């Protein structure tokens, strides 16, 4: 009874291993105990609750699939997905922090970094002693990151970095930032920038109505001297940051299901308790239509990510397949949040229930990591062969 309800209409638990279930349940219990009681207040105050960082590390949310030798949890992709699902059941902003740390900071250092960089950064990122951010988006280049103007020059014994990144999760408190910038030939490379480097600042972006429990900000570089050993040597070009996005988008496809489940659970329970016209509102056809469609969509989304997880475990998931799941599942979740909010009537707009917070959070989730439109165009390109981006 201490756990959240977890709709499992098609008995998907039977496809999970004992390890998957243990990891999922540990994450679920932690969210219930340490996130749910404090998250509404954090969101109302627009503060990232730093007190949960050690707990995130303990449940394996920082680098779930990064090998144990670097401090990661060494788990498979389905475990990674289940952890993201449970965290986002609590709040999309908390899941964002985990996504960024794992897939956008640890992943590029692991995949594109050298052994010294892996040893220096990964263990501290895995425990949360250091927190990271990922700078790709710029004021004038969001959906089109290939146009970025942030750049670095080779000064002989160091690089000189100039430019600015906008909408960066975790930026206000990050210790390290993986930053994407162009060299003098216009080739994109990843650089590890550390807090304290002269000319590097991270102002916070205020007045968000969405992801209020996640800190978002800028990364500003004014003649920042970056040591040469901080360049990620093993991959360059736009495909390098996009490869990180594949991993984060996969986690989001799972995470969105958590937010949807929480909205569905809340609305279902409310529909059995709230009496109008002499009977529980769950007895009216219009409300049943909403609930029946919600559980149908959640079930379809679960099947989608389970199969995608199998493909990812085998190294066979394509970027376009990941885009389809991110787009479908976030859209599914935001629609469920909107319907669930209505089912609670006036109560649905209060912080007494988590639905409106999820709904507002999902407005960011449907925009970041590739907008809803961009993922549709990725599918369109994949099936037709025609590029409709440009
Ligand atoms: P395009 O010419 O298609 O591709 C350039 C190079 O990249 C390769 N590539 C990929 N590689 C790995 N994974 C992918 N998903 C890839 N997609 C493309 C491609 O093969 C090519 O390689 P090469 O060797 O030929 O050079 O590039 P384009 O300029 O036409 O852009 C394509 C487009 C629009 C799909 C892409 O730029 C895009 O996905 N735009 C959306 C931007 C985005 O998602 N930004 C996210 C920023 S990070 C964030 O939001 C974090 S939120 C916090 C949280 O996660 O919680
Ligand atoms: P734009 O690219 O300007 O898009 C505006 C509209 O135009 C959208 O509806 C879009 O779908 C549409 N559009 C664009 N191009 C096309 C096209 N070719 N065809 C049809 N329609 C098109 N970025 C990071 O690098 N790191 C982070 O940690 C990070 N965290 C974020 C956290 C939050 C809370 C938010 C809101 C954003 C974050 N982002 C981050 C940025 C995010 O990835 C971008 O907002 C996103 O990629 C969209 O870019 P944009 O906001 O510039 O919108």
Residue among 367, 370, 380 whose CB has most ligand 2 atoms within 8 A, to mutate: 367
Token digits of residue 317: 């998931």
Residue nearest to atom 20 of ligand 2 (CA): 373
The string of DSSP codes covering 355-387 is: HHHHHHHHHHHTTSSS-HHHHHHHHHHHHH---
Cα torsion 154, 155, 159, 165: sign: negative
Quick one: pLDDT at residue 191?
98
Helices and strands of the chain, counted as H and E runs: 12, 9
**pLDDT band at residue 1, thresholds of 50, 70 and 90?**
very low
Q: State pLDDT tens for residues 145-156.
A: 999 999 999 999
Instruction: Determine if ligand 2 sits within 6 Å of the CB of residue 19.
Output: no
d(CA 370, ligand 2 centre) in Å: 6
Q: Distance between CA 232 and CA 159 in Å, rounded?
A: 13
Percent of the chain having pLDDT more than 90?
Answer: 98
Question: How is residue 14 annotated by DSSP?
Answer: G
Percent of the chain having pLDDT more than 70?
Answer: 99
Q: Which atom of ligand 2 is nearest to the CA of 135?
A: 25
Q: State pLDDT tens for residues 192-247.
A: 999 999 999 999 999 999 999 999 999 999 999 999 999 999 999 999 999 999 99
Instruction: Determine if ligand 2 sits within 6 Å of the CB of residue 137.
Output: yes
Q: Which residue has the tokens 């239509």?
A: 289
Residue nearest to atom 31 of ligand 1 (CA): 144
Q: State pLDDT tens for residues 331-390.
A: 999 999 999 999 999 999 999 999 999 999 999 999 999 999 999 999 999 999 999 999
Instruction: Determine if ligand 1 sits within 6 Å of the CB of residue 248.
Output: yes
Quick one: pLDDT at residue 3?
55
Residue 18 pLDDT > 50: yes
Instruction: Determine if ligand 2 sits within 6 Å of the CB of residue 143.
Output: yes
Residue nearest to atom 17 of ligand 2 (CA): 389
Residue 4 pLDDT > 90: no
Residue among 101, 190, 245, 253 whose CB has most ligand 1 atoms within 8 A, to mutate: 245
Q: State pLDDT tens for residues 263-318.
A: 999 999 999 999 999 999 999 999 999 999 999 999 999 999 999 999 999 999 99
β-bridge pairing 176-182 and 158-169:
unpaired
Q: Distance between CA 372 and CA 160 in Å, rounded?
A: 36
Token digits of residue 305: 């990510």
Q: Which atom of ligand 1 is nearest to the CA of 237?
A: 26
**pLDDT band at residue 6, thresholds of 50, 70 and 90?**
confident
Residue nearest to atom 19 of ligand 2 (CA): 389
d(CA 196, ligand 1 centre) in Å: 30
Helix (H) or strand (E) holding 237: none
Q: Under 8 Å CB-to-CB from 307, ≥6 apart: which residues?
A: none
Cβ atoms of residues 304 and 277 within 8 Å: no
Of 279, 293, 278, the residue nearest 342 (C-alpha): 293
d(CA 304, ligand 2 centre) in Å: 24
Residue 233 Cα distances to 55, 63, 112, 144, angstroms? 32, 21, 6, 24
388 burial via Cβ count (<10 Å: 0-12, 13-18, 19+): exposed
Q: Distance between CA 242 and CA 221 in Å, rounded?
A: 22
Q: Distance between CA 40 and CA 298 in Å, rounded?
A: 24
Q: State pLDDT tens for residues 277-292.
A: 999 999 999 999 999 9
Residue nearest to atom 46 of ligand 2 (CA): 368
Of 273, 283, 285, the residue nearest 344 (C-alpha): 273
Alpha helices in 160-278 (DSSP H): 239-273
283 burial via Cβ count (<10 Å: 0-12, 13-18, 19+): middle
Cβ atoms of residues 367 and 378 within 8 Å: no
Instruction: Determine if ligand 2 sits within 6 Å of the CB of residue 360.
Output: no
Examine the residue annotation and report whether 363 is marked as an active-site residue of this protein: no
Residue 2 pLDDT > 90: no
Instruction: Determine if ligand 2 sits within 6 Å of the CB of residue 167.
Output: yes
Instruction: Determine if ligand 2 sits within 6 Å of the CB of residue 368.
Output: yes
Q: State pLDDT tens for residues 160-192.
A: 999 999 999 999 999 999 999 999 999 999 999
Cα torsion 122, 245, 161, 142: sign: negative
């Amino acid at each position: 009874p201490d756990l959240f309800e977890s709709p499992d209409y098609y008995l998907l638990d039977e496809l999970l291993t004992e390890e998957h279930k243990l990891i999922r349940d540990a994450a679920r219990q932690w969210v219930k105990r340490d996130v749910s009681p404090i998250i509404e207040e954090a969101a109302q105050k627009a503060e990232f609750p730093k007190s949960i960082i050690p707990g995130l590390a303990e449940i394996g949310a920082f680098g779930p699939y990064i090998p144990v030798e670097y401090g990661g949890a060494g788990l498979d992709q389905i475990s990674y997905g289940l952890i993201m699902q449970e965290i986002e059941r609590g709040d999309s902003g908390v899941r964002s922090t985990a996504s960024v740390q794992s897939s956008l900071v640890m992943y590029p250092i692991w995949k594109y970094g050298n052994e010294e960089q892996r040893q220096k950064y990964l263990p501290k990122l895995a425990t949360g002693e250091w927190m990271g951010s990922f700078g790709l988006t710029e004021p004038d280049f969001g959906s089109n990151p290939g146009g970025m103007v942030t750049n670095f020059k080779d000064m002989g014994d160091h690089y000189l970095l100039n430019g600015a990144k906008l909408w960066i999760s975790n930026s206000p408190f990050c210790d390290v930032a993986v930053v994407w910038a162009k060299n003098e030939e216009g080739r994109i490379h990843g650089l590890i920038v550390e807090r304290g480097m002269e000319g590097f600042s991270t102002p916070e972006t205020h007045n968000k109505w969405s992801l209020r429990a996640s800190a978002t900000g800028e990364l500003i570089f004014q003649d920042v001297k970056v040591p040469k050993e901080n360049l990620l040597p093993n991959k360059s070009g736009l495909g390098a940051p996009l490869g990180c996005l594949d991993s984060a988008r996969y986690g989001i496809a799972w995470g969105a299901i958590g937010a949807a489940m929480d909205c569905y659970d809340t609305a279902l329970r409310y529909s059995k308790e709230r009496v109008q016209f002499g009977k529980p509102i769950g007895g009216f056809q219009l409300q049943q239509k909403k609930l029946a469609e919600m559980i149908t969509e959640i079930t379809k989304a679960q099947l989608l990510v389970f199969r995608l997880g199998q493909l990812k475990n085998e190294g066979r998931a394509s970027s376009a397949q990941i885009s389809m799941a991110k787009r479908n599942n976030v859209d599914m979740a935001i629609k469920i949040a909107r319907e669930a909010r209505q089912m609670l009537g006036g109560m649905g707009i209060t912080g007494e229930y988590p639905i409106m917070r999820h709904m507002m959070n999902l407005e960011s989730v449907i925009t970041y990591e590739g907008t809803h439109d961009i993922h549709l165009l990725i599918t369109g390109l994949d099936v037709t062969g025609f590029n409709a981006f440009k």
